[in-house]
Amino acid sequence: MTVSVHAFTETELEAVDEVTKVAYNVQGSRKESLRRYLALQPGGSFVTEQNDAVIGFGGAMDYGPFAYIGLMCVHPSIQKRGIGGLILDHLLAWLDARGCPSVLLDATPVGAPLYKRYGFMEDDKTVVLRQTQRVLLPQDLPEGVSILSEEDIPALVAFDTPCFGADRNAILASYRADDPQRALVVRNANGRITGYLIAQSRTLGPWVASTVEDAERLLLHALTLPFEGELGVFVSANNGDALKLLTRYGFSQQRGLSHMYKGKHVQRSRHTMLYGQASLGFG
């Protein structure tokens, strides 16, 4: 079997999207995430081909102190033949050349053994939740929640960086640009940002809050917006406040993933202030 690996390009968008669908056995497109890789991290995602046909993909987002690897997939017809390892080799070599000290990812039970062979260690679980039951919302929504303006982004990044563990200015601005009306922020009495939530079309996140009360205020406003299909959230299994809050609003746990790292261990507020990841690929 002869395969080739090269940097992902715009011309392969459709083909890669089709591989992600069959590999993850889902109907929903991943084009938004794929375009974000192209726009925000050029050269950081790789395609595997056999006979000019796309058979695999993997992407990385380098935040500086650490990177996230995501959307790792191989076409089912050719799985368990070393393709995943080949893609991972290229991703890790690319990150190593950039001097990235730590690599994070969320692994399925099927994928975890591969990452363990490459020296990744589990330090947490990531829970995938879906809103399987609609809950009646109060008529009067809590005050203090507003739409995030472009001028707010520097203050948002200053709030988010110590919580997330790295500056993700570019990706936060990118999600806001998708639909500015779906980027929500909450402030304290002094006008300082104490939380925010970006309500994507299918996912609540990134979502960060100083307190569970702020997280709930943001959630209530977000749930008044329209969504496509079953709404999802990705959160640490050790964030008990987040799990209790989401359960009260009709979310149920669907599956668990191994949150893994390779290299320097990353200290951040994952268990207390991160109520929803942007995605399983971007953290």
Alpha-carbon distance values, 268 to 67, 160, 165, 236, 273 (Å): 14, 11, 5, 12, 9
Assign domain 130-276 to its CATH architecture: 3-Layer(aba) Sandwich (3.40)
46 pLDDT tier (thresholds 50, 70, 90): very high
Residue 202: exposure state from Cβ atoms within 10 A (0-12, 13-18, ≥19): middle
What pLDDT score does 238 carry? Answer: 96
169 pLDDT tier (thresholds 50, 70, 90): very high
HEC string for 185-253: EEECCCCCEEEEEEECCCEEEEEEECCHHHHHHHHHHHCCCCCCCCCEEEEECCCHHHHHHHHHCCEEE
Domain parsing of the chain, residue ranges: 4-100, 130-276
> What's the mean pLDDT in 45-64?
95
Report the CATH fold assignment for 4-100: Aminopeptidase (3.40.630)
User: What is the percentage of the chain residues whose pLDDT exceeds 90?
Assistant: 89
Weakest-pLDDT range from 75-79, 102-106, 132-136: 75-79
Per-residue pLDDT for 197 more than 90? yes
1 pLDDT tier (thresholds 50, 70, 90): low
| Angle CA 181–184–190, to nearest 5 | 130
Per-residue pLDDT for 135 more than 70? yes
**Structure pTM?**
0.94
What pLDDT score does 28 carry? Answer: 84
Per-residue pLDDT for 26 more than 90? no
Helices (H) and strands (E) in the chain — how many of each? 8, 13
4-100 and 130-276 have identical folds: yes
Per-residue pLDDT for 29 more than 70? yes
Per-residue pLDDT for 147 more than 70? yes
